[in-house]
């Protein structure tokens, strides 16, 4: 093969690889595939300037993408307290994670946090909110409500740093508990249990999660079984919204009566992994 042909070949392969590097959850994401092309680590043009990136910039973006995927996988495959210790050992991993996370989210046509923000704006601003796994605390910044923002690391004085299965919030002190793409730990039922503890009677539980995690035809949990488990914990289902291609939304209310002590059968929630192909 002459030099020109081999160069063309390499270029073709590179283009193919870049095309294939699509955000994809482990087993499904047919929907994701159609919408979320090009993960952050593959774009070769800077969005702001539209200038081609240098080789070094591309390398850095690739490494950042790798770090993001590694931290993401860790968070989905360990318990909340392990995740807390993980970030305690190296808090810089948290920023690394969120840089990658924001990149991924910028490719979603709609952000679930905005839907939740709108929901809050359509309700009373006097509702006290707990945002479990708040990330960059965007929710608290976008609404008038009092919001307790909770995450594993606090980069903002308003964020309470803790494992969300064990928060310092008073029992029966909040009106709305939000989990926006944050049911990541293997002990996610403990997170919902904690939300139940801090919610007032008739308080709202809002859950937004990646759709493929709730696709039983592809290894995801059955949303009915999940809702049933949440209800056994002491909630009633108010509504479900499966209309978005990327995420589902579940709305519950806390029941006045205490839940029974019978053991709840929670479906497994498969990790949402991002992989390079
Ligand atoms: N809700 C935000 C961020 C979602 S990313 C948004 O929609 O933009 C998920 C967040 O959940 C991450 O910031 C992660 O650190 C947090 N998280 C995961 N497990 C947690 C735990 N056990 N305790 C507190 N926060 C947790």
How do 247-254 and 199-210 pair as beta strands?
Answer: antiparallel
How far apart (Å, rounded) are the C-alpha atoms in residues 246 and 8?
36
Distance in Å, CA 63 to ligand 1 centroid: 22
pLDDT at 84 over 50: yes
Q: Identify the bridge partners of residue 152 per DSSP, sorted by sequence position.
A: none
Across the strands, what pairs with 187?
none
Q: Is the pTM of this model over 0.75?
A: yes
Nearest CA to ligand 1 atom 17: 133
Give pLDDT tens digits for 64-83. Answer: 888 899 999 999 999 999 99
Ligand 1 first shell, C-beta below 6 A: 75, 80, 83, 101, 113, 133-135, 138, 150-152, 163-164, 180-182, 184-185
- pLDDT at 5 exceeding the cut of 80: no
Going from the Cα of 60 to the center of ligand 1, the distance in angstroms, rounded, reads 25
47 vs 211 pLDDT, higher one: 211
Going by pLDDT thresholds of 50, 70 and 90, the confidence category of residue 209 is very high
pLDDT tens-digit series, residues 131-158: 999 999 999 999 999 999 999 999 999 9
> Which of the four pLDDT bands, split at 50, 70 and 90, describes residue 39?
very low
pLDDT tops 50 at residue 258: yes
Q: What is the whole-number distance in angstroms between the Cα of residue 14 and the centre of ligand 1?
A: 34
Q: Which residues of 104-118 are buried (b: 16+ CB within 10 A; e: fewer)?
A: bbebbeebbbebbbe
């Amino acid at each position: 093969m002459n030099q020109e042909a081999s160069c063309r070949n390499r270029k073709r392969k590179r283009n193919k690889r870049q095309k294939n590097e699509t955000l994809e959850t482990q087993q499904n994401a047919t929907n994701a595939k159609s919408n979320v092309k090009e993960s952050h680590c593959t774009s070769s043009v800077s969005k702001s300037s539209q200038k081609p990136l240098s080789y070094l910039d591309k390398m850095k973006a690739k490494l950042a993408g790798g770090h993001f995927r590694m931290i993401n996988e860790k968070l989905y495959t360990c318990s909340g307290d392990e995740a807390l210790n993980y970030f305690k050992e190296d808090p810089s991993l948290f920023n690394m994670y969120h840089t990658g996370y924001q990149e991924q989210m910028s490719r979603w046509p709609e952000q679930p946090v905005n839907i939740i923000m709108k929901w809050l704006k359509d309700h009373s601003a006097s509702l006290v909110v707990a945002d479990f796994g708040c990330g960059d605390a965007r929710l608290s910044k976008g609404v008038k409500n009092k919001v307790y923002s909770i995450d594993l690391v606090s980069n903002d004085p308003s964020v309470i740093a803790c494992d969300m299965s064990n928060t310092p919030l008073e029992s029966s002190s909040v009106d709305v508990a939000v989990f926006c793409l944050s049911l990541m730990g293997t002990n996610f039922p403990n997170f919902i249990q904690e939300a139940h503890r801090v919610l007032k009677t008739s308080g709202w539980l809002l859950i937004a999660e990646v759709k493929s995690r709730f696709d039983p035809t592809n290894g995801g949990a059955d949303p009915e079984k999940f809702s049933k488990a949440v209800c056994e914990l002491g909630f009633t289902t108010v509504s479900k919204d499966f209309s978005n291609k990327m995420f589902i939304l579940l709305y519950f209310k806390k029941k006045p009566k205490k839940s029974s002590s019978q053991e709840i059968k929670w479906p497994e929630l498969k990790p949402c992994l991002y992989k390079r192909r």
